[in-house]
Amino acid sequence: MSSAASEPIFADRLLNDWLASVGLGIEYSRAEANTLYFRDGSGREVPVLDHVCGFGSLIFGHNNPDIIEHAKSVLDEQIPVYVQLSRQSHANALATVLNAILRRETPSGDGDYAAIFANSGAEAVEICVKHAELERRARIVRLTDDVLRHVEEAREAVGAGRATVAETPYVQVGAARDDREKLEHLIAEIGRRNAELVAKGPVHLALENAFHGKLVATVQLTQNPHWRMPFIALSSSTRFLRADRPEEMKGAIEDLRESLLDILVADGAVTVVERDFPVIGAFFVEPVQGANGMRPLTEAAAREIRAVCDAVGCPLIVDEIHSGMGRTGAFLASSHMGLQGDYYTLAKSIGGGIAKNSVALFHQDRFRPEFEVLHSSTFAKDGFSAAIAMKVLEMLEADDGRAYRVAAERGERLMEMLTSVKADFPEVVDAVDGIGLMVALEFTDQTRATSDLIREKAGSGMLGYVVAGYILREHRIRVLPVGPAGNSVRFEPSVHLTDEDIARTESALRDVCAIIRDQDGDRLAPR
Ligand SMILES: Cc1ncc(COP(=O)(O)O)c(C/N=C/c2cc(O)cc(-c3ccccn3)n2)c1O
């Protein structure tokens, strides 16, 4: 395999060709704070304002000097990085700091979350899928043990002549007429049906336009069909629900309801009863939807989702991988809307922009200790990423949480600017949304635009990428679309965002909005 430049291409051939086609095929050579640098044809360093910031994984910016210094110091000390299956007190030290923060930021404030560390956000979510299944299976075992005990009681009662089996139970389970005199056939039919139900996997709940990762289980929790459908046969199914339609949520729960058959003896009669079966494994929720225009949940939706999980008995998993770690002006975005989780996931900025790390946190009332040895991975909980995570938490919590206040204030300035652009271009900007430094601007539907280029790119979901290529080329600012829609641009810079950065961004956005307003699409054409 070789490219026109005669060098062999073994990685990213398709991706790099596509990036070049939309004007994003830049190779960066240096990165610091909110700035990326690339070298132009004459070798000169060209600065680019970065609003993508590692898809929101750089709350303290690229190569933050304090984090880099800490990394160098721990490496110079030759800390043990990989010492699996030994006492690694740094894990509990990190979990202790996280618990103190969760006690402050969760609505119940009753803290005590067990921590399982991993290597990526999706792995943290996969861990939640696995732990939720442990919980669900434990509920199923309690139910099936009850049924086994009741079957023995029925056998004993009928055998001793203390109970009889009328017609109804046989009809209930559809037993054949000639089998209706034999209790054993009733028991066998109940056992067969229950075994079928137990053998089925769980159904998971998530919100429409959810993004929870792209591993085998998590890609089924990510609604984008382009990423999810090719692998749908590999994992449990998900019911995607609208957070703003509580009645629909309730209807979906009813629609998914399954019953386990049980057999009871009362007043000399054997009866068959139906018992709720735990089909739903968990409800996965992003407090701010990264792939859905950075839309935050409302407090009402947070209450509804909590009520659904309480009614169903499944864990509510708050996925803070994108929204957490201070990005929205609080450690947890869910603290803004009072969303109380049973599990929490964190990743991205916990790595300080230089390490890979993630964590799943399980409320002690639900945590199953055996899980600590059921899930593992070679690089998880390593000494280096833990040291970096401790430094990041220290920086976030410093000066009574100054970083959160800075994120909130910078986010307000950014949102003010976006709102003013929307006000001046009502026919071009459909929405601006988000919290803190997790915001997005969505364009109006351009699929019927008069400009051929704008219409075609909007129709293929590529308008946001072409706009990003234009802004990069003409304004030296890096933005990317949000999620599958593609007709939006996301802003998730670090706390180092300056007023000048915001002014430059405004100028670039007004330029693009004027192009779209005037349908001057050819100016957007990648060069
Ligand atoms: C809430 C949430 N839960 C789990 C994950 C998965 O974390 P990892 O990427 O660390 O596995 C993410 C990470 N987000 C990645 C992401 C979020 C997003 O909105 C778009 C894209 C993306 C990626 C490639 C191309 C286009 N878009 N990627 C997340 O935001």
Distance CA 232, CA 225 (A): 9
Q: Please tell me the distance between residue 123's alpha carbon and the centre of ligand 1 in angstroms.
A: 12
Q: Which two tokens stand for residue 368?
A: 């199953």
Q: How far is the CA of 80 from the centre of ligand 1 (A)?
A: 30
139 near 313, Cβ under 8 Å?
yes
Pocket of ligand 1 contains residue 90 by CB under 6 Å: no
Residue 122 CB–ligand 1 contact under 6 Å: yes
- Spacing, Cα 139 to ligand 1 middle (Å): 32
User: 55: Cβ below 6 Å to ligand 1?
Assistant: yes
Q: Which sign, positive or negative, has the C-alpha torsion 30, 33, 36, 37? A: negative
Q: How far away, in angstroms, is 122 Cα from ligand 1 center?
A: 8
**Residue 258 in contact with residue 243, Cβ under 8 Å?**
no
Percent of residues, the chain, with pLDDT higher than 70: 98
Dihedral, CA of residue 322, residue 55, residue 470 and residue 436, to nearest 10: 40
Q: Is the CB–ligand 1 distance for residue 321 below 6 Å?
A: yes
**Token pair recorded at residue 420:** 């003013």
Q: Are 433 and 293 in contact (CB under 8 A)?
A: yes
CA 213 to ligand 1: nearest atom:
6
CA of 77 to the centre of ligand 1 (A): 34
CB-ligand 1 contact for 126 (6 Å cutoff): no
| Closest residue CA from atom 7 of ligand 1 | 121
Number of Cα atoms under 13 Å in the Cβ half of residue 87:
2
- From the CA of 349, how far away is ligand 1's center (Å)? 13
Q: Give per-residue pLDDT as tens, 317-349.
A: 999 999 999 999 999 999 999 999 999 999 999
Instruction: Kindly state the percentage of the chain with pLDDT values over 90.
Output: 92
Alpha-carbon distance of 339 to 316, in angstroms, equals 9
The span from the CA of 98 to the CA of 369, in Å, is 18
**What element of type H or E holds 239?**
strand 237-241
Measure 222 CA to ligand 1 centroid, in angstroms: 9
212 lines ligand 1 (CB under 6 A): yes
Residue 123 alpha carbon, nearest atom of ligand 1? 11
Look up residue 15 and give its two tokens: 């991706």
Given this model, what pLDDT does residue 1 score?
Answer: 47
**Closest Cα to atom 16 of ligand 1:** 55
Burial of 406 (0-12, 13-18, 19+ CB in 10 A): buried
CA of 211 from ligand 1 middle (Å) equals 6
Give yes or no for residue 237 having a pLDDT over 60.
yes
**330 Cα to the center of ligand 1, angstroms:** 20
Contact of 29 with 62, CB cutoff 8 Å = no
Mean pLDDT of the chain: 95
193-206 pLDDT tens trace: 999 999 999 999 99
pLDDT at 172: 87
> 254 CA distance to ligand 1 centroid (A)?
31
Choose one of 212, 322, 489 to mutate for the ligand 1 pocket test, by most ligand atoms within 8 angstroms of C-beta. Answer: 322
* Contacts by 169-172, CB closer than 8 A, 24 or more apart: 169/263, 169/270, 169/271, 169/272, 172/261, 172/272
In 3-state terms, what secondary structure has residue 367? coil
Question: Ligand 1 in contact with 513 (CB < 6 A)?
Answer: no
Nearest CA among 235, 225, 226, 224 for reference residue 201:
235
Q: Is the minimum distance from the CB of 204 to ligand 1 under 6 angstroms?
A: no
Q: Whose CA is nearest to atom 20 of ligand 1?
A: 483
> Phi first, then psi: what are they for 263, rounded to 5°?
-125, 125
In this predicted structure, what is the pLDDT of residue 174?
83
Residue 482 pLDDT: 82
Residue 484: the pLDDT is 62
Closest among 429, 436, 433, 382 to 411, alpha carbons compared: 436
Q: Report how far ligand 1's centroid is from the alpha carbon of 295 (Å).
A: 15
Q: Is 107 exposed, middle or buried (0-12, 13-18, 19+ CB in 10 A)?
A: middle
- Taking residues 56-82, report their average pLDDT: 98
Give the number of the atom of ligand 1 that is nearest the alpha carbon of residue 125.
4
Strands 295-296 and 288-289: antiparallel
Residue nearest atom 22 in ligand 1 by C-alpha distance: 483
- CB of 288 within 6 A of ligand 1: the answer is no
Q: Give residue-wise pLDDT tens across range 394-426.
A: 999 999 999 999 999 999 999 999 999 999 999
3-state secondary structure of 231: helix
3-state secondary structure 57-90: CCCCCECCHHHHHHHHHHHHCCCCCCCCCCCCHH
Tokens of 128: 């939640």
Q: Residues 439, 448: contact at Cβ < 8 Å?
A: no
Q: Is the CB of 222 under 6 A from ligand 1?
A: no
Confidence of residue 4 (pLDDT cuts 50, 70, 90): low
Q: Is 125 in the pocket of ligand 1 (CB under 6 A)?
A: yes
Q: Would the CA dihedral through 68, 70, 71, 76 be positive or negative?
A: positive
Nearest residue by C-alpha to atom 8 in ligand 1: 121
Neighbour tally for 17: CB within 10 Å: 12
Is 223 near ligand 1, meaning CB less than 6 Å away?
no
Whether residue 178 has pLDDT greater than 80? no
Q: Determine contact, residues 460/502, Cβ cutoff 8 Å.
A: no
Apex 258 CA angle, 252 and 262, nearest 5 = 155
- Calculate the CA 527 to chain-centre distance: 35
Query: Measured in angstroms, how far is the CA atom of residue 212 from the centroid of ligand 1?
Result: 7
- Cα–Cα distance between 462 and 460 in angstroms, integer? 5
Packing angle of the helix pair 121-159, 183-199 (nearest 10 deg): 180
What are the tens digits of pLDDT across the range 430-488? 999 999 999 999 999 999 999 999 999 999 999 999 999 999 999 999 999 986 668 99
Average pLDDT score over residue span 306-325: 97
User: What is the average per-residue pLDDT within 157-180?
Assistant: 85
Q: Is the CB of 347 under 6 A from ligand 1?
A: yes
CB 211 less than 6 A from any atom of ligand 1: yes
With the CA atoms of 235, 346, 433 and 405 taken in that order, what torsion angle do they form, in degrees rounded to the nearest 10?
170
Global ipTM: 0.97
